[in-house]
Amino acid sequence: MKLLRNLRKISTFQIPERGHYKLLDNKDIDFFSSILPSHSILTKDLDAYNTDWLRFHKGNSSIVLKPKTTEEVKSILEYCNKEKIAIVPQGGNTGQVIGSVPIYDEVILSLQNMNRILKIDSSQGVVWTEAGVILEYLNSFCEEHGWIVPLDLASKGSCFIGGNVATCAGGVRYIRYGSLHGNVLGLEAVLPTGEILSDLKGLRKDNTGYDYKQLFIGSEGTLGVITKIALLLAPKPISQQVAMISCKSYENVLQLLKDAKQGIGEILSAFEMMDSYIYSLLLKHTPRTRNPFTADSEFYVLIETSGSNKDHDIEKLQAYLENGLKNNVITDAVLALDQEQANNFWRIREGTATATKSEGYVFKYDLSLSIAKMYDLVRKTRERVGSLGYTVGYGHVGDGNLHLVVSTNEKEKAHRILEPWIYEQIQELKGSVSAEHGIGLLKASKLKYTKSKVMIENMKLMKNIFDPNGIMNPYKVLNNSN
């Protein structure tokens, strides 16, 4: 990991008081040393483990445990539960909501050493893996067998599949392959009580009682530690085509999306919108990109198809684009002719995080909204922020998921203008305050804008079943600010 820059502290989140957890002493270290080999225990140079990906927060843990087996996880959890020692499970630590780092001195349980792919069934397309396998590596392994992981994220080179499941990660191919709630076939999870919930049969259908592995998908480490996963794969596409489209209005984007679902729905694997504001930042700040268009436009859409027959896919995509041009829904369109062009288009889209950061302090909102009203919120925000910052909108519009970002050099002022106003807007529009990034600590106090009191109360009851002493990833998702 790189050297960490200064923390980007700002009062956008509240830190609850430290819970009544035991302070680690020598007896505890001795216990951990008795069950783990010495190279699986770190007590020095822990900055990278203590600090979150976006450098919002640095915790103060003095120990990282790296179990290699489910039994080791079980021993750690049982002990900590008995002693009331708080734990934060950590995968690739690439989360965006302060979910995988200690807030105070929680023991860090890193899944780094549980990094074996266990088995693949090439007939059915199912892979069994430990939680600490890096997404990109898992995908490469599956590709060799003719399959792909139905999930693709910009952080794929660092994030772990266990973290993906624990946070119910979304990403760019969600529009095609859907949610991990549909694709995770089974889990092994260790509870703080030492119980192991194990269902790794890898069956596609299993209607035998409450499907409560689903609770762990998106639980962000607050219920237990996911140690193994059985995952449904998608066939590796034979042909992938990428096109970049420009159009005049958001209404055109909506029409394009509808036409895409109906006309090329079976091969559509990405539909990513960028407004002209983010697009110009992307061209400015992303190395090795070229603008495929000669004229400026209001909106840009990257479309990707994945299919089994190149001729068919190109024919469908071309017909779709020609139809859009004919109906004046599309202003201009460029179909990538080779991999280099395709990479150029994707590079533009994937440069968003760097591009927005280059313009100042970043307020990033990861929203779900009904797509019809989605862009109105960007316009309203831009108007409200005015000259105080630069407001852009982009994202997985095909899934109703917008990333709304304000870059500013006046962070305290912008903060006061933006919050809680923006969350109230989301609530009014019946949206979600977190489409795919989760809640963590960062958004715990915002949960109420999406979930009713009753629902939050029931979540707390559920947490209490699995984690009666509240040692699992405390302060995250559910806390006193809900």
395-434 residues in contact with a second copy (CB under 8 A) are: 396, 399-401, 430-434
Q: Which of residues 97-126 bind a second copy (CB under 8 A)?
A: 121-125
User: Is 463 within 8 Å of 223 (Cβ atoms)?
Assistant: yes
- What is the DSSP pairing of strand 87-90 with strand 107-110? parallel
Q: How far is the CB of 210 from a second copy (least distance, A)?
A: 5
Binding of a second copy by 480 (CB under 8 A):
no
Q: How far is the CB of 133 from a second copy (least distance, A)?
A: 21
User: Is 354 within 8 Å of 287 (Cβ atoms)?
Assistant: no
Q: Which member of 76, 109, 267, 282 binds a second copy (CB under 8 A)? A: 267
User: Nearer Cβ to a second copy, position 113 or 469?
Assistant: 469
Q: How far is the CB of 216 from a second copy (least distance, A)?
A: 9
Q: Which of residues 44-83 bind a second copy (CB under 8 A)?
A: none
Among 19-27, 305-313, 386-394, 411-419, which window interacts with a second copy (CB under 8 A)?
Answer: 305-313
Residues 6+ apart with CB under 8 A from 130: 111, 114, 115, 116, 117, 118, 162, 227, 228, 229
Which residue bears the tokens 């095909």? Answer: 398
Q: Which of residues 364-383 bind a second copy (CB under 8 A)?
A: 368-372
Binding of a second copy by 214 (CB under 8 A):
yes
**b/e code 360-381 from CB counts within 10 Å (16+ = b):** bbbbbbbbbbebeebbebbeeb
User: Is 233 within 8 Å of 125 (Cβ atoms)?
Assistant: yes
User: Nearer Cβ to a second copy, position 35 or 197?
Assistant: 197
Binding of a second copy by 467 (CB under 8 A):
no
Q: Which member of 59, 91, 192, 307 binds a second copy (CB under 8 A)? A: 307
Would you put residue 290 in left (φ > 0), alpha (ψ -120 to 50) or beta? beta
User: Nearer Cβ to a second copy, position 312 or 413?
Assistant: 312
Binding of a second copy by 154 (CB under 8 A):
no
Give me the sign of the Cα torsion angle 68, 72, 74, 79: negative
Binding of a second copy by 289 (CB under 8 A):
no
Q: How far is the CB of 296 from a second copy (least distance, A)?
A: 26
Q: Which of residues 169-208 bind a second copy (CB under 8 A)?
A: 170, 174, 178-179, 181-183, 195-199, 201-208
Q: How far is the CB of 198 from a second copy (least distance, A)?
A: 7
User: Nearer Cβ to a second copy, position 236 or 384?
Assistant: 236
CA dist 86 and 252 (Å) reads: 51
Q: Which of residues 123-142 bind a second copy (CB under 8 A)?
A: 123-125
User: Nearer Cβ to a second copy, position 194 or 360?
Assistant: 194
Q: What is the DSSP letter of 141?
A: H
Give me the sign of the Cα torsion angle 407, 411, 413, 416: positive
Binding of a second copy by 451 (CB under 8 A):
yes
User: Nearer Cβ to a second copy, position 8 or 261?
Assistant: 261
- Taking residue 125's Cβ as centre, other Cβ atoms within 10 Å add up to 20
Among 63-71, 273-281, 350-358, 463-471, which window interacts with a second copy (CB under 8 A)?
Answer: 463-471
Residues 6+ apart with CB under 8 A from 316: 263, 264, 267, 305
- What is the phi/psi pair of residue 107, to 5°? -65, 130
Binding of a second copy by 26 (CB under 8 A):
no
User: Is 476 within 8 Å of 220 (Cβ atoms)?
Assistant: yes
Q: Which member of 309, 327, 328, 409 binds a second copy (CB under 8 A)? A: 309
Instruction: Give the residue among 65, 158, 53, 34 at the shortest CA–CA distance from 440.
Output: 53
- Secondary structure class of 256 (helix, strand, coil): helix
CA dist 111 and 135 (Å) reads: 13
Binding of a second copy by 454 (CB under 8 A):
yes
Q: Which member of 210, 295, 340, 386 binds a second copy (CB under 8 A)? A: 210
**b/e code 458-472 from CB counts within 10 Å (16+ = b):** ebeebbeebbebbbb
**Sheet containing 184-190: order of strands:** 117-121, 126-130, 225-232, 184-190, 196-199
Binding of a second copy by 272 (CB under 8 A):
no
# residues near a second copy by CB under 8 A: 94
Q: Which member of 168, 282, 321, 377 binds a second copy (CB under 8 A)? A: 168
Binding of a second copy by 470 (CB under 8 A):
no
